[in-house]
Amino acid sequence: MKRSSVPLVYGSFIAVGLIVYFLILSLFGLHEQPVYSAFNIVITGVGMYLAIRKYMALKKSKFVYQKGFSVGLTTGFIATVIFTAFFAIYASELNPEFSKELLMMWETDWFVNIGMLVFTVALMGFATTFVMTLAIMQRYKPSWNTKEGQKHTY
Output the average pLDDT for the chain.
86
Q: How far is CA 28 from CA 7, 22, 25, 36, 64, in A?
A: 32, 10, 5, 12, 44
* Domain range summary for the chain, segments of one domain joined by +: 3-144
Taking 80 as the threshold, does the pLDDT of residue 2 lie above it? no
Give the pLDDT of residue 27.
Answer: 92
Give the pLDDT of residue 50.
Answer: 95
3-state secondary structure of 42: helix
Tens of pLDDT, residues 87-122: 999 988 888 787 777 666 656 666 667 888 899 899
Taking 80 as the threshold, does the pLDDT of residue 72 lie above it? yes
Q: How far is CA 38 from CA 11, 18, 68, 128, in A?
A: 18, 11, 25, 10
3-state secondary structure of 52: helix
Say how far apart CA 121 and CA 85 lie, in whole Å: 10
Give the max Cα distance, the chain.
Answer: 62
Say how far apart CA 117 and CA 60 lie, in whole Å: 43
Tens of pLDDT, residues 14-53: 999 999 999 999 999 888 777 888 899 999 999 999 999 9
Mean pLDDT of 59-74: 86
